[in-house]
Structure 1
Amino acid sequence: MMSETTPQHENPPPPDGIRTTGADAPGDLPRAPLAEARGTGRIGDKIFLGLSRGAGVTLLVIMAAIAGFLAIRASHALSANEGNFLTTFTWDANANPPVFGIAVLLFGTVVSSIIAMALAVPIAIAIALFITHYAPRRLSGPIAYVIDLLAAIPSIVYGLWGGLFLVPHLEGLYKWLDDYLGWTKIFAYHDGAARSLFTVGILLAIMILPIITSVSREVFRQVPRMHEEAALALGATRWEVIRMSVLPFGRSGVISASMLGLGRALGETMAVATVLSPSWDIVPSVLDAGGGTFAQNIASSFKEASGDMGKDALIASGLVLFVITLVVNGAARLVIARRKEYSGANA
């Protein structure tokens, strides 16, 4: 009787129209050719692939052209500069011979950007988490709309608001910081208008907040629902779900969003020029007037730059800002690449 039955270890034949890919895997669907899998088998796909590659190459060419222009014009000014470009505390590019340096500009740009990031990133992440995981739908929609609307406000409007409203209303905060943290010398306040790097940092934080919030919100929405449900099934609280599932998954996206915001903070011009009282001194307190930024100095000094030498000196400072931006974004990509395997998302 056993000889008349089909042995249990044998596989049944595959259905009609289904090809096998091997003796060990009957019934598997055939894999598409590599060219077809990449979307290059049709003429339309080939055209789209060519346009995409052309756009990428064009972008690299534009970046290289900008870098080359800045480097060539900056070399003319640096060769004639009688001061140390990195350590000189004056900017007199119109003199004969010219003497200028970026020490004050570098300090002001870095300090104001650090203040802006320290204020904006935690608040942006908190808002994004509230919109995606805490707020009801009828409330999360309007909040997200207002956040996106803030990103569309022009810089000069932020500058006017900062100069006419923010600066006069920061005196109380400055005095409070001086009373409790003035002993650190970093938050010492010696009266005067609140036109300092700290005010610039607050204004920049408000400006980059919608960018970081919007990108982080979209990243948090991509967290697989199964991850959150699995954590809830194990008895995790809402915060534990966010800490164990949402934040690790969205780490790469939050870093990318922060770098986008930092890029705007580094290159912001009109808003900074409106609220800052620049000087060519480095003061230990961020509440005292003083310092400057690369973008602010270029905007305020370009009209006064006489001849090619004055403009070339400003271009040299612009080259430094260009390099700083590239270094910051490169460092962010390295951080994302190192943490990609833990984030749950592709960088």
Structure 2
Amino acid sequence: MADTTPTEALGPPLSGAAEVPDVPRQIVARLSGADRAFRALLRGGGLAVFAITGLIGGFLLYRAWDTFRVAGWKFFTTSTWLLGSNHFGIASVLPNGLVIALTALVVAVPCALTAALFISEYAPAVLKRPLVALIDLMAAIPSIVYALWGVFFLQPRILGFSRWLSDHLGGVFPPFKVVGGDMQILFQASPFVAGLIISLMVIPIITSICREVFSQAPSGEREGAYALGASRWGMIRTVVLPYGRGGMIGAIMLGFGRAMGETIVVALFISPVYVFNWHVLHTGGLSIPGLIALWYSESTPTMISALMAAGLVLFVLTLIVNAVAGVIITRSRSGAQTAD
């Protein structure tokens, strides 16, 4: 027979008993020697990354100090590069490098995301492995091969398309506007074509990372979306893409860093011009890595210091981009939308 005695019959709690706070008990496990060694190895590896990064930054700052002492803030506001008269700066090469990198991302990001979604969600098992191998093979091709392909194959065949963009879209989108008639001179060696070549190097990086992220979307939520009547694209839009948002942002930022640091294509392909060229279809331009590659072999100690200063600016810019990407990834962690 069930006990029906009311709780009041048990009487009030003892007056002398202290109230114990309702907090979880901490369980402390004794670490073994292998655990301590593994933890020390991980901690040492993490500290080594910070130490190496700090040493690189310190070395660049030490070698660039003479340039900053002579040029001061003019180093960031001067466009020309005349070291003999101490009239030099990165006011043109830095934004030109950003234009080239952004052009590469505009082309690479849609292609990479589409390829990653097709491989992870649509491709049959027979095609999936060859496609993954093909993407990895694209990442293994040296930069000089892409540069030579762009110079001798892509550029002669894309001049007409560049002229078409200028004629039909230049009035709507001013960066596409190029005034002049000689197509061979105005549209050759432009930041647009350089961005197209660099995009081929960025696509494998973004595709590989996004494919891994998309494939890790929880299968339970995939099946739940299908059970609620979603189509395959509906499942991708509501489950896979929100789950992989952080990974996509990280992949795009990594591709941006790869595009900003590309040297051979810019040095071999683009005609060096020390003026900010925001008309992406017009010939001429340069980036900081291309500047360093072009001037390093014939540099005096003063020129080396100036190139180190330019490299330091690129180094700091990369750190800032990575820090911003880390904040964005933390706020949109993969799986955060699906774990609630």
TM > 0.5 fold call: yes
% same residue? 43
Structure 1, unmatched stretches of 5+, are 10-30
Structure 2, unmatched stretches of 5+, are 6-24
Are 2:139 and 1:146 equivalent residues in the alignment?
Answer: no
TM-score normalised to structure 2 length:
0.87
Task: Please name the residue that 2:8 is paired with.
Answer: none
CA distance in 2, matches of 1:343, 1:296: 40
CA distance in 1, matches of 2:33, 2:90: 53
Task: Please name the residue that 1:54 is paired with.
Answer: 44
Structure 1 residues 251, 34: closer, same or farther in 2, change over 3 A? farther
Task: Give the superposition deviation at 1:344.
Answer: 4.6
SS in 2 for 1:103: coil
Task: Please name the residue that 2:243 is paired with.
Answer: 249
Are 2:294 and 1:316 equivalent residues in the alignment?
Answer: no
Task: Give the superposition deviation at 1:185.
Answer: 3.5
Task: Please name the residue that 2:17 is paired with.
Answer: none
Residue pairs, 1:61-80, within 5 angstroms: 61-80=51-70
**Partner of residue 92 from structure 2, selected from 104, 112, 123:** 104
What residue identity is the alignment partner of 2:176? F
Bigger shift: 313-322 or 148-157?
148-157
Structure 1 residues 215, 273: closer, same or farther in 2, change over 3 A? same
Q: Is the 8 A contact 1:252 1:343 kept in 2?
A: no
1:31-69 CA distances to partner (integer Å, 9 max, x unpaired)?
994345xxxx22122111111111111111111111111
RMSD: 2.3
Structure 1 residues 80, 241: closer, same or farther in 2, change over 3 A? same
Task: Give the superposition deviation at 1:244.
Answer: 0.5
1:124-160 CA distances to partner (integer Å, 9 max, x unpaired)?
1111111111111111221111011111111111111
Task: Please name the residue that 2:193 is paired with.
Answer: 199
CA distance in 2, matches of 1:239, 1:179: 37
TM-score normalised to structure 1 length:
0.85
Structure 1 residues 341, 279: closer, same or farther in 2, change over 3 A? closer
Task: Give the superposition deviation at 1:7.
Answer: 6.4
Task: Please name the residue that 2:326 is paired with.
Answer: 333
Task: Give the superposition deviation at 1:87.
Answer: 1.6
Bigger shift: 104-113 or 191-200?
191-200
Q: Is the 8 A contact 2:242 2:338 kept in 1?
A: no
SS in 2 for 1:282: coil
SS in 1 for 2:76: coil
**Partner of residue 235 from structure 1, selected from 229, 232, 252:** 229
Structure 1 residues 32, 137: closer, same or farther in 2, change over 3 A? farther
CA distance in 1, matches of 2:260, 2:97: 7
Q: Is the 8 A contact 2:116 2:208 kept in 1?
A: yes
CA distance in 1, matches of 2:336, 2:50: 29
Structure 1 residues 268, 139: closer, same or farther in 2, change over 3 A? same
Residue pairs, 1:1-347, within 5 angstroms: 2=1, 33-35=27-29, 41-81=31-71, 84-93=74-83, 95=84, 97-183=85-171, 184-189=173-178, 190=180, 191=183, 192=185, 194-306=188-300, 308-340=301-333, 343-344=336-337
Structure 1 residues 73, 144: closer, same or farther in 2, change over 3 A? same
Task: Give the superposition deviation at 1:164.
Answer: 1.5
SS in 1 for 2:74: coil
CA distance in 1, matches of 2:292, 2:235: 47
Runs of 4+ aligned structure 1 residues displaced above 6 Å come to: 6-9
CA distance in 2, matches of 1:44, 1:344: 37
| Bigger relative contact order (CA 8 A; separation at least 6) | 2
Task: Please name the residue that 2:11 is paired with.
Answer: none
SS in 1 for 2:316: helix
CA distance in 2, matches of 1:206, 1:299: 21
Q: Is the 8 A contact 1:250 1:345 kept in 2?
A: no
Task: Give the superposition deviation at 1:284.
Answer: 3.9
1:240-282 CA distances to partner (integer Å, 9 max, x unpaired)?
1111000000000111111111111111111221211111122
1:50-105 CA distances to partner (integer Å, 9 max, x unpaired)?
11111111111111111111112212112122881112111112x1x421110111
What residue identity is the alignment partner of 2:74? N
What residue identity is the alignment partner of 1:52? L
Structure 1 residues 120, 34: closer, same or farther in 2, change over 3 A? farther
CA distance in 1, matches of 2:203, 2:336: 23
CA distance in 1, matches of 2:227, 2:335: 22
Aligned residues: 315
Q: Is the 8 A contact 1:219 1:250 kept in 2?
A: yes
CA distance in 1, matches of 2:280, 2:210: 29
Structure 1 residues 341, 173: closer, same or farther in 2, change over 3 A? closer
What residue identity is the alignment partner of 1:150? M
Task: Give the superposition deviation at 1:292.
Answer: 0.7
